[in-house]
Amino acid sequence: MKSLHKLVVIASLCFFTASAGYAQQDAKDGKAIPVEQAQKPASPDEWQFSFTPYFWLPTANVDISLPEVTIGNRTIGGNISVVQPWWDTLGKFSNDFYVLGLMGRVEALKGRWGGFVDGYWIFGKDRVSGSDSRLVFRDRVDITASSTVTDRFGTGQVSFGPQFVLGTAPLSSDSSVSFLLYGGGRVNWFTNDDDVTITIRASADVGEIGRTFNFSSNKSRAFVEPMIGLKTSWTLGPKVKALLRGDVGGFGFVDSNNWDCDLETAIAWEAWRNVYLDLGYRARGQWQDLGSSSKGNYQGWYYGPELGVTFSF
């Protein structure tokens, strides 16, 4: 065994000596020696871009007030409330009901200055139908009245402006947190369409007659307002990032009580090089007048989970 041990030691020494000799010979001949290098981090003076498409499934908890219009004995408008949790929405998705949100964000940063564009569109539909039947004229005539009310609503927003890095604080050797101030403007728009269909039919031994009535109420509005916010961007190791941000806008710029806020928290994991899978939660609050001509208002919250992918380059 001792002889075998000595033989292994001598062979190992010969192998390392020969390797060193070949390396020196390659260096003398001008041949490059391949060396594995770590990925070079982006320089603060270089442009850094990111693009994040999001899918958002929000809980809708909003109140819409519209002028009332009375036609016959049926009233269209007034106060319309929509309260629908996102977890119930998943089980009720159909052609008659849905609430969905799509969003995206583009950011650019060079040094401490940069810019962003962040937008979303929330749209939904709720259709309710009912019918009632009665016998008249000594139970010889059957009168049936059926109605269908379809409410389509939507709200969108695009925020844009510059952002500035206030400072960065190290948390550990590979973790840090940065504080960014951002602001600028945003475009808001709202739509609400109500369609009412009423069908009345009378049937008897001599035959059947009927008539259908259609009523609709359509409202929409768009405007631009200022906004300002603060964001913290976290680097939690080589593959995990997170953010926590909030902003407020409106400030009564358009009407005396036009205010809104946007809150978001998310965590991202680098699944591939420069490609992150994002999981977050977003809440959007709005308190808006729909304009002096309509004498209505719109207020409430949208909040729920979001899932997206961030491409950095």
pLDDT along the chain (313 residues), means of 10: 41 42 44 45 76 88 70 58 79 75 90 93 79 68 78 86 96 95 91 78 69 76 90 95 95 78 96 95 84 66 92 93
pLDDT for 51 equals 96
Query: Is there a single domain that holds both residue 98 and residue 247?
Result: yes
Residues 2 and 121 in one domain: no
Domain presence at residue 239: yes
pLDDT (0 to 100) of residue 136: 65
In a domain, 41, yes or no: yes
Structurally, how many domains does the chain consist of? Answer: 2
So what's the pLDDT on residue 106? 96
Q: DSSP code of 144?
A: E
Range of the domain at 8: 1-35
How many other C-beta atoms can be found within 10 angstroms of the C-beta atom of residue 56? Answer: 23
Provide the pLDDT for residue 10.
Answer: 41
Residue 50 · residue 107 · CB < 8 Å: yes
Q: What is the pairing mode between strands 175-204 and 207-236?
A: antiparallel
Residue 83 and residue 172 in one domain: yes
The verdict on 11 and 31 lying in the same domain is yes
Residue 72 and residue 26 in one domain: no
Smallest Cα–Cα separation from 80: which of 70, 92, 90, 67?
67
Are residue 48 and residue 1 in the same domain, yes or no? no
Q: Domain check: are 2 and 110 in the same one? A: no
Domain at 82, CATH number? 2.40.128
pLDDT at 216: 78
**Assessment of whether the complete model's pTM goes beyond 0.75:** no
Q: Are residues 168 and 26 in the same domain?
A: no
Query: What integer pLDDT is reported at residue 2 of this predicted model?
Result: 44
| Same domain for 41 and 25 | no
SS3 state of residue 163: strand
Residues contacting residue 250 through CB under 8 Å, at least 6 positions apart: 225, 226, 227, 258, 259, 260, 287, 288
Pinpoint the alpha helices (H) of 29-103: 86-92
Q: Please give the pLDDT value at position 183.
A: 95
**213 domain residue, yes or no:** no
